[in-house]
Every structure is written in C-alpha cells, then in structure tokens.
C-alpha cells in the first residue's frame, strides 16, 4: 500500500464493518474499525453478519449460533489447503496474509494476528499491517493495534485506512476524542472529495458531542 495508497483511498469506496452500537448517544453510525480500500495483495474475507449490531457485543457470543470452538474448527478445515501450500513455501507473505484473512473472517482474531504478523515480518505491506492492527483490536489488544496503525502512518502519513482506524482506537479504547478528531479531520483534509466523506463527518460530529459534554466513551468490546 506504499505506492498509490493516497489515490486509491480517495477513489475507492470503503468496506467498513457495521458492528458497533454507540452507547449513550442518540445517534448510531454502526461502524467499527474498517478498511477504506483494498488492493489485490490481500484477499478480502467472507462477509461477517451485520446483525451483530443488534446482538450482544460480548466476544463469547456466537456467529449465527456458531460457538467460538466451532468457528475455530471451521477455520482450521478451510485453512488446510493454504497450510499445505505453506509447508512448501513457509515464507510466502501472500499465503500468510490469506490465512490471516481466513481466521479473521471466522473471528479467530488471535490466530489471524499471528499470521498477519508473520506476513509483515517477511514483507512489510500497509494493507496487511492494517489488517494486523484490526486483528489486535478485535483480540482486545488496543495498544498493539494502535502501534501497527501508527507504523503505517510513519511511512505514509496520509494513509486513510490507518487514519480512520487510529481514530477508532483512540475514541473507543483510549477515551481520547481529541486524538480521534485529529485523525479523522486529516482524512477530510487530504481527501476533501472522498465518496464516503459524509460518514467521516458524522463520526467527527459524534466525537465532538462527546467532547463537549465531557462524556467518557464507554469502551466497546469487539463483536463476535
């Protein structure tokens, strides 16, 4: 995501997961950490049910009645062809990223983060590193999530994906609306005509409301 990141972020739509209920606010946007745009280097995982916004955000909750253990078994079975390929090519960052996506899609976030970490350790890639940050967040490790997003921004200060996710972590996990606002405002400054500009403006408005009311942000646990 080093080359062409700014252009693709400005020209493409976002694939944001609709998964969070904003507690205590009369305004619901229904977005959690997301990817604003993707490239072909990482295969997008299957869709996660959007109904999680209407269910408990407890990470022990199942996906459409599937328990975490069952989801792990499903992921392990689906991963077998990729794991077979990985035996022949253990240092293939693309295979490792695909495995990370597979486990992320089935909400096995610790496994996902392990594969994404191996991938970026071999070949640094902004999209995979952003996925690693998201996996850390959903595994309830916001500090490492934030660190990964900030690593992306260190080399690519206008990376819209990383900026969006930095804002989400600072708002949800760090109770830092000022930090969230700074990140989201940077997106609008860099991409004033972004096709999803309205959503970012709505996020900014809600964060400003929290700040003006001196209302602490209740951390939202990752949905599963």
* Statement: residue 60 has pLDDT above 60: no
Residues 6+ apart with CB under 8 A from 21: 28, 30, 53, 57, 220
Q: If you ran DSSP here, which 8-state letter would residue 50 be given?
A: G
pLDDT tens by residue, 136-159: 999 999 999 999 999 999 999 999
pLDDT tens by residue, 15-50: 333 222 233 332 333 345 665 543 323 333 333 222
pLDDT tens by residue, 87-138: 999 999 999 999 999 999 999 999 999 999 999 999 999 999 999 999 999 9
DSSP H or E segment with residue 98:
helix 93-105
- As given in the structure block, the two tokens for residue 208 are 């400003």
Local structure of 71: helix, strand or coil:
helix
Local structure of 136: helix, strand or coil:
helix
- CB of 98 within 8 A of CB of 127? no
Supply the pLDDT for residue 28. 33
* Statement: residue 11 has pLDDT above 80: no
Residues 6+ apart with CB under 8 A from 161: 1, 9, 35, 36, 37, 126, 127, 130, 152
Tally of CB atoms within 10 A around 193: 8
**Domains of the chain, start order:** 5-212 (1.25.40.10)
């Amino acid at each position: 995501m080093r080359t062409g990141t700014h252009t693709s972020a400005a020209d493409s739509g976002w694939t944001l997961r609709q998964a969070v209920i904003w507690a205590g606010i009369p305004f619901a946007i229904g977005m959690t950490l997301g990817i604003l745009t993707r490239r072909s280097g990482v295969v997008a995982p299957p869709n996660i049910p959007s109904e999680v916004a209407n269910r408990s955000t407890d990470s022990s909750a199942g996906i459409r009645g599937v328990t975490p253990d069952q989801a792990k078994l499903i992921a392990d079975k689906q991963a077998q062809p990729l794991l077979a390929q990985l035996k022949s090519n253990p240092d293939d960052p693309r295979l490792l990223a695909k495995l990370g996506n597979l486990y992320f899609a089935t909400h096995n976030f610790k496994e996902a983060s392990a594969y994404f970490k191996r991938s970026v350790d071999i070949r640094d890639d902004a999209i995979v590193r952003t996925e690693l940050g998201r996996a850390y967040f959903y595994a309830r490790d916001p500090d490492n999530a934030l660190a990964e997003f900030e690593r992306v921004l260190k080399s690519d200060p206008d990376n819209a994906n990383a900026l969006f996710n930095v804002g989400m972590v600072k708002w949800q996990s760090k109770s830092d609306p000022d930090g969230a606002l700074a990140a989201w405002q940077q997106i609008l400054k860099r991409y004033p005509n972004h096709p999803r500009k309205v959503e970012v403006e709505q996020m900014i408005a809600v964060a400003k409301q929290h700040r003006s009311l001196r209302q602490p942000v209740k951390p939202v646990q990752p949905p599963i």
